[in-house]
Amino acid sequence: MTPAVAMHQAKGIAHELLEYEALAAPGKDFGIAAAAALGIPEASVFKTLVAELAGGELVVAMIPVAARLNLKLLARAAGSKSAAMADAWQAERATGYVSGGISPIGQKRRDRTFLGDEAQSLSVIHVSAGRRGLELALSSVDLINATEAQVCRLCT
Q: Which H or E run contains 33?
A: helix 30-38
Residue 23, helix vs strand vs coil? coil
Which pLDDT score, from 0 to 100, does residue 23 have? 67
Cβ neighbors of 79 (< 8 A, separation 6 or more) are none
Which pLDDT score, from 0 to 100, does residue 125 have? 97
Q: Which H or E run contains 141?
A: helix 140-147
Query: To 10 degrees, what angle do helices 3-11 and 140-147 make?
Result: 100
Which pLDDT score, from 0 to 100, does residue 69 have? 97
Backbone angles phi, psi at 67, to 5 degrees: -95, 165
Residue 155, helix vs strand vs coil? coil
Q: 59: which DSSP letter?
A: E
* Beta carbons of 113 and 154 less than 8 angstroms apart: no
Beta bridge partners of 64: 46
Q: Can you give the pLDDT of all 156 residues of the chain as single tens digits?
A: 899 999 888 888 889 999 998 765 555 578 888 898 999 999 999 999 999 999 999 999 999 999 999 999 999 999 999 999 999 999 999 999 998 899 999 999 999 999 999 999 999 999 999 998 999 999 999 999 999 999 999 998
Backbone angles phi, psi at 109, to 5 degrees: -135, 155
